[in-house]
Amino acid sequence: MGKGKQPEWLKREIQYFNKADESLEGEAELAPIELSILQNYFEVDQDDPIFDTYQIELVDATFLKPYTSLEFDFEKYDYWLAAFTDNWEQTKRDKGFMGQYPPPKQ
């Protein structure tokens, strides 16, 4: 698998939390997006698979909108970009992605 080609088990989603009590309100999976696009946008190194969570601000929502049907409401929710594996066994067999392992979906 090429360095930039993401495995099928790697998923990215937007998690949103209620500002009133910080509870998780929901999750919206992102459509496939090239890693290099995310790396350029978040200004990270090319060897970063972007497994950390990133807070999404209004300007970021504009960037991510083509990849989700989520209707952002920044008055009510805080948003975070997250990555996970939906197949931990395959992730282990593949030795992760770019030498790193995203967390399994909780």
Q: pLDDT, tens digit, for every residue of 51-77?
A: 999 999 999 999 999 999 999 999 999
82 lies in which domain range?
Answer: 10-93
The pLDDT, as a whole number, for residue 34 is 93
Does 67 reside within a domain?
yes
User: Which of 74-96 are b and which e, b meaning 16 or more Cβ less than 10 Å from the residue's Cβ?
Assistant: eeebebbbbbbbebeeebeebeb
Does 1 reside within a domain?
no
Q: One-letter amino acid identity for 75?
A: E
> In whole numbers, what is the pLDDT of the chain averaged over residues?
94
The pLDDT, as a whole number, for residue 28 is 97
CA 53 to chain centre: 7
The pLDDT, as a whole number, for residue 1 is 44
Q: pLDDT, tens digit, for every residue of 31-52?
A: 999 999 999 999 999 999 999 9
Does 89 reside within a domain?
yes
Average pLDDT over residues 19-23: 96
User: How many separate domains does the chain show?
Assistant: 1
